[in-house]
Structures are given as structure tokens and as C-alpha cells.
Amino acid sequence: MVGRMRLPLAAGLFALAPTAPMAPVAAQTCGLSPPQQSYLQSPLAPAYTSISGLAGTTQALGPCSTAPFFSVIPPPFPFTYFGQAETFLRIQKNGFFHFTFFGGAATSPNAAIPGVAAPNDVVAPFWQPLVPAPGVGAVLFRTDGAAPNRVFTAEWKDMMVISGGSPCFDNGSRLNFQARLLEADGTIEFRYGPFNAGTVGPQIAATIGLENAAGTLGIDATGLGTLNAAFPATDLRFFPGAVTSPVASYTVSTAPSSFASIAGAPGAVQVFCSAGGVCPPPTTGPCTDDEGAAVALPFPFSFWGQAKATVQMSMNGIAAFDFSLGVAGAGNPVNPVPFPSTAIPNDWAAAWWDDMVADDPAPTTGGWWIVSGPIGNRVLTMEWTNLSIFDPVTNTPCTDTGDRINCQLEFREAGNLVVCKYGAQILGSGPNTAGVGVENPFGTLAVDGTGLGPLNSVFPTTDIVFTPCGTLGAVLPFGNGCAGSLGAPPSIGSSGGPATIGNATFALTMGGGPPSSPANGLILGASGSQWLVFTLPMSLGIFGLPSSCTLFASVDTILPVVTDAAGSATVVLPIPNVGSLVGASVFAEFFSLTPALATTSGAEVQIG
């Protein structure tokens, strides 16, 4: 059938992918972000050569110069950074240059990337308070080549980490590095030369990476933030392109009810109670309200993709990681609150979020927590026992309203699961308007466990399980295609369900290609970073092809592709039911001869 091919031999393709052990908990894809302009990073073989002394090199700053930056200069050729056309750049002595003007922060210490505080629009090969060393140090720049293949180089030569009482006190440190802008494909390179920490090694803590104009998106090149004490082991290359990433979120499922009270159990800790129990401070009087406690997570746990160490348990059936509930753990407004909401609290999980009070005289009434299970499968369980819905009329004199709420919230080490469990619910005179769900740290995204928002009145009859989204089974486009003779670059996508083992209908799709044409192909490879001796992504200009076209995947397999009358094609790639493939990736890219070469962006198929 024209435009659709089934390739049973594709099983061999997936054998190319590096294999990984099966995940202990199946990951699910909850959605992908819209493409956003960013950069793809790859290592480069060391290739540092100083531009000092070459004809055409300009010295921006000389030895011992304390001026923070060189004056604004226009880019030597049209250059786009994070999708934005730039009109000037300014070189800073502190190991970076930037495309957006800022004032007093020019001499400030380096900061983590990304960060909304100035400076932004930063290209930082080694951002650290520096000064050109006496006699030999300098900040230099030059442009080489002819259009459309010019290269701009900024060099920090024999820079010195500032120490001592004088900016030019010579402590023996010498740092040599460059940032290069390549006109041909918009690539940025960091090159690293001789490095000597001198006597100030412990004082070296640099930032390495790229940041956009808003400070909201960046590339931390080493993952070390502000703590780079030495140069990277290789030179670095950053290739521009739109990147689609998985959205951090949760899927909701149910499990058979498994509530078993921990109130009074050996090892369980009571954190708030009624006057009938042996209550920790600040409990007083015949009933208690608006109390809470901080509980440490004694095992690694990730919530909305962020590592967590401590959570605040509130009497109001909610646990928050942002500690916005106040010292006593209050945090439920009188009226029901729809979620997500940027109003605090954020970063929370709730089994039964309502305004609750401990007015039952039983000694077990209140809040409890316990950690159980072996290493790797530990569980922090929080329980709300025999609580009542607070009513401003009936509870004013601490009158028992007759409500009894019993529920639990679990944080599980294995799979970073959040589980809500439900015991007995007795409805008295208190109104029920509870919320069940999880919300992200910004209050911009939440997952509702019941679909009823803050209006739950009756307990669920099952456990509710929140499973973090994963990238496994996803197809993640990245990079920029080229249009060739078409009006716009063709696109790459997928169909036939997720890229999971045993899926015989999984397919990659091309759209926007030449209509009814056999002059197309699909490149499949096991690597998105290296092909033969070439570092990927790679401009195809070195082969005499348009420099705007890019190779994103190692060329391990090329499959013929025929488009239909609409310029579309579907290539079915059955994925074997082989457990060792879970966690592996295959890289893909379509191309067309139109007759000029046109390519799609790349795509990473992450097998689940």
C-alpha cells in the first residue's frame, strides 16, 4: 500500500539499541511538551588552539583589567540563540558573554543555570570571578572564514581566579578556554586549554552552560551547577533545535482496598490527637485543630520529578512538600478550592483534603505515621484517624459532630508511587467537600484522583494509585528539519500505540513530504551522538549538501519510503516482546529528495 509499509525485519533494528534491565515499575507516558527551542549537547575531541597573536585578533581586556566587560559589539554574522535573533553581544571577563544587556550584576558571582535573575541570555564556558593574569592574561575575540561558514571565537587567555587583597595578586592560577559561534548551523562550542588551579583550587566553583533570555530554560553542561572545580574532560558542542520532552505528571489507577490502621501500632508515631490521647505539644483542651508535623523521608523519593527529603503532614488530610501550611499545619480554606491553583499550598498530595478536627476522645484519634518495608521497597504511611469535618457552628465549643474520617497516604520508595487508602467513614453533621489528588510545585498542574475536584463527599471503595509519568514508550522529536524544495520541513511522528515491547503495530510516520514519491528514506540508528568518526548532530554541509540540513541519527539502517498523494508515509516497525529492550533507545530521521534534500527533525524512540 502506498504510504504505508510493514517491515517485519524491523525486529533487527531494535536489537541495535543498547539494552537496559526492565524497570521494577512500569513507566507510563502522560504527554509531551510542545517543542521549545533549546540545545542538544555532545562531547568533542579536544581541539583548543589559542587565537592570541593572530592577525585580526582583538584584545578586549588586558592583564589585570578589572573592567567587568568589553563594550557592546554586533554579532559578526546573523546568529539565533534559543530561537531569538541576536543584535549584539558583550564579553565578560568572568568567563562568559551574553546577548541581553544587564547592569550591576556584571561582576556578581556565578549562579546556577537556569535562573531568572540577571545575567540572562548567557553563553558560559567557565563562569567564575576571574581577572587576566599579570603580564600574560587577556580576553580576546576574532572572526574567521567567509559566509556562510564564519566562526566567531571569544577566548579567555591565562585568566586568574581572584584571591587576596588585590585583584592582580598572582596566586598561580591560569585558565584558558574559548566559546565559539558557528554560522553554518548555529552550533556553539566550548574549547578548553591549559588549566592550573594554582593555590586557589578550593575557591574554583564555576558554572558551565547556556541560558535563554528569560532565564527560564538552560543547559547545565556538566550537571554540577555552580560547583565546577576543573574543566570538562572533553570539549563541548551545543546544537540548536526544538526539543520535545515528557511532561512530569501522574497517571491514576485503582487497586483493591488495602487499608489497615497503623494507629497505636508498634513503631507508629502520633503527631496530633484529641485530649483523650497522650498528645505531643501543642495539643491542649478537649479537641485540637490546625496541627501538623514535619516528617522526614528516610529513603530516596521523587515527587513531580524533584527529589524530596521532608514532607509536612497537616491535620487537614494533606501532606505538602513546600512547607506552606504554617508551623501548625493549617492550610485548608473554609471554601472548597479547585485545583490546580497557584495559591498555596502547592507541591502536595492529599488523601482527603478538608478542614478537619480531632474531637473524638479515643486515644488513637489524630494523626500517625510509620515507615515500613525493606530497603528498596520502604513505605512512609501517614494516617488520619477518627477525625471530624470542622463546622464553625457545631465545633466552636468542641462538640463532637459525629463524623469519623479514617484514611491514609503512602509514599512508596519503589516507583515513587503515591497511594491513597480509605477506611471507615461515618457521616455526622459536618459538611463533606474534600479533595483527592496531587499538585505540582508551581500550582500549574494537578492530577485529580476522583474527577470530583474538591467536592468529594463519600470515600472511594478502592485504593487510588498515582504513578509518575516516565519517558519509556515515548517518541521524542528533537532538532530542526530542513525544507529543501518543499515549502517547509517535513515532520516525523508515530502511530499504532506506544513504543512498548510486544507492540506489533508501532509505526513511525512522515508528513509534509513530496506527494506520491518513492524518493524518500528512513534512517534508523542506535546512537544520536556518534556515527563513525562524526559527532552527532552534524551539519550535512561537510558532504556538499545544504548546511541547514542535519544528520541526527547514526546511519545503521536506511529503509525505503514511498509517500501517498498527501505527502505522508507510515512505516510499521514491530517491537519484539523482549524484556531486555526496555529502557533502550533508537534514533530516527526521515529524508526526501525533492530534488533538493529535505529532512525531518530527529526523534528518539524510548522503548518501554
In tens, the pLDDT along 472-486 reads 788 989 888 999 999
Helix, coil or strand: residue 39: strand
Helix, coil or strand: residue 13: helix
Distance from C-alpha of 446 to C-alpha of 434, rounded to nearest angstrom = 15
Q: Which residues does residue 411 pair with via DSSP β-bridges, in sequence order?
A: 380, 418
Question: Where is the domain boundary, 443, 468, 493?
Answer: 468
Same domain for 307 and 378, yes or no, is yes
Same domain for 256 and 314, yes or no, is yes
537-565 pLDDT per residue, tens: 988 888 888 888 999 999 999 999 999 99
* Backbone conformation region of residue 102, classed left if phi is above 0, alpha if psi is from -120 to 50, else beta: beta
Distance from C-alpha of 188 to C-alpha of 509, rounded to nearest angstrom = 31
Would the pLDDT of 283 be above 80?
Answer: no
Q: Find the mean pLDDT for residues 444-467.
A: 92
Same domain for 410 and 539, yes or no, is no
Same domain for 236 and 129, yes or no, is yes
Same domain for 538 and 461, yes or no, is no
Same domain for 284 and 420, yes or no, is yes
563-580 pLDDT per residue, tens: 999 999 999 999 999 888
Domain count, the chain: 3
Domain carrying residue 47: 41-243
Same domain for 309 and 412, yes or no, is yes
Query: CA dihedral defined by 206, 212, 213, 214, rounded to 10 degrees?
Result: -100
Same domain for 341 and 364, yes or no, is yes
What letter represents residue 482's amino acid?
A: C
Question: Where is the domain boundary, 451, 468, 485?
Answer: 468
Confidence of residue 460 (pLDDT cuts 50, 70, 90): very high
Whole-number Cα distances in Å, 541 to 76, 538, 545, 549? 20, 9, 5, 7
Query: How many CA atoms are closer than 13 Å to the CA of 368, on its beta-carbon side?
Result: 25
More confident residue, 103 or 523: 523
Same domain for 462 and 490, yes or no, is no
Same domain for 183 and 167, yes or no, is yes
Same domain for 501 and 431, yes or no, is no
Q: DSSP strand E in 430-580: where?
A: 435-439, 446-448, 463-468, 474-479, 491-495, 507-511, 520-525, 530-531, 534-535, 538-539, 550-551, 557-561, 569-572
Are 563 and 510 within 8 A, CB to CB?
yes
- Any residues with CB less than 8 A from the CB of 505 and at least 6 apart, and which? 496, 497, 572, 574
Would the pLDDT of 24 be above 50?
Answer: no
Peptide bond before residue 119 is cis, with ω within 30 degrees of 0:
yes
Same domain for 47 and 9, yes or no, is no
Are 27 and 473 within 8 A, CB to CB?
yes
- Any residues with CB less than 8 A from the CB of 487 and at least 6 apart, and which? none
pTM for the structure as a whole: 0.70
Q: Which letter does DSSP use for residue 415 in this model?
A: G
Question: Where is the domain boundary, 452, 468, 484?
Answer: 468
| 467-477 per-residue burial string, b: 16 or more CB within 10 A, e: under 16 | bbbbbbbbbbb
